[in-house]
Amino acid sequence: MRFVSTLQLLLAATAFAAPRNDNTPSISRNKAISPKPPFLPLPDTARRNKVCYVDSHGNGADDSKNILGALKRCNNGGRVVFDKHYTIGTALDLQFLKHIDLDITGYIQFTNDTNYWQTHAFKQVYQNATTFFQLGGEDVNVYGGGTIDGNGQVWYDLYAENPLVLRPILVGIIGLRGGAIGPLKLRYSPQWYHFVANSSDVLFDGLDISGYSNSHNTAKNTDGWDTYRSKNIVIQNSVINNGDDCVSFKPNSTNILVQNLHCNGSHGISVGSLGQYEGEVDIVENVLVYNISMFNASDGARIKVWPGVSSELSSDLQGGGGLGSVKNITYDTIQVDNVDWAIELTQCYGQSNQTLCNEYPSNLTISDVWFKNFAGVTSKTREPDVATLICSSPSVCSNIYVSNFNVTSPKGTNEAICKNVDESNLQLNCTSSS
């Protein structure tokens, strides 16, 4: 798998990566890309007036007490400096933080004690998610360019033996109101890299994410970000080398801006999955995804919704029958390179039986969605098709638009699968059906 370097992040600040050859469609090669503002203004940071340094045992012993002590000393107006190598072997509840900076220039690594973490990691309320720590409170910034390491290899191997094992998420942002995360390096998360839940007005800027398995057991479910019950979140100026969604908007994510990312090896930037839990209402509204370069991925732009009945595809992938809506979603200025689907919209997620999905259409509506200014070349996997938009029925999908779509397969084809969507709004070559 090709690795996307931080150099490409710098290139992304002004324009897309150069096309592979003169015949490859591109989007305004010489056009500067200007960032978009957040949906709502982000709050100011209060003045910091004291500094605390975190001591380290330096021998692999648990530094959690030192970390917790420094955070309590410098809470309410201080900066805590992590300038050494630290080991964390205790789950830390950091939801008490207020008006504080965590300046990480050193290296933080979580222990590989899988028995401890399965018992003590913080259990979140969505998809059996657990986190090493939960950082919340008000006006909290984490930066410094240092490294947070999840020691993921032992988890990748354990998950291959037992797909129901609870693997901790590296960074748990739980109940944070105002703050900024980055620049930081995040490495080898056991599962998702970020879970952003019950939070608002948070900026993620300058994250360098990477961590593949060094055994034959793949590092799975390593999403870059998953937002849940959160609003006014900004994710930007980052490089993500992972094995699942680059960014995923889980239920009740609203006013989310994602821009200027280089994603490599991922499953795309995804709305969903939604509708997994019967009787629950999932809403994702007001999302702008802008200026993205997507390499070696299964998808570029993706909307994934479960069918209208609960079903099981595998022991760790089951659900359906939920309610809700997807509304006012825009994917704008997207470059793809070796990506299976430039666009994938499905209401049959988590189920391989299309007949079942047709019999039980999704309960979620999808409306006011724009895919515009796409360019690049897909992989060979789906050719001659480069995009697929399949709704359960015409009654649940409306106002879906595709424009200025300049994506071809390696052979030069540009066909698309379109079903139960108004093709008059799609500037696609809808020659296939499914």
State the catalytic residues.
267
Residue type, 253: S
CA 131 to chain centre: 16
DSSP E strands in 78-221: the ranges are 78-82, 85-88, 92-94, 98-104, 107-110, 122-123, 130-131, 133-143, 147-149, 168-169, 171-181, 184-187, 194-197, 200-205, 207-210
Q: Is the dihedral of CA 355, 356, 359, 361 positive or negative?
A: negative
CA 70 to chain centre: 31
Q: Are 415 and 432 in contact (CB under 8 A)?
A: yes
CA triple 169-175-177, angle to 5 deg:
125
Residue type, 167: R
SS3 155: helix
Give the residues across from 428 on adjacent strands: none
Residue 119 — φ and ψ, nearest 5°? -90, -35
List all residues 6 or more positions away from 87 whose beta carbon is below 8 Å from its beta carbon: 56, 57, 60, 61, 62, 63, 109, 110, 111
Query: CA torsion 114→350→188→381, rounded to 10°?
Result: 140
- Say how many residues make up the chain: 434
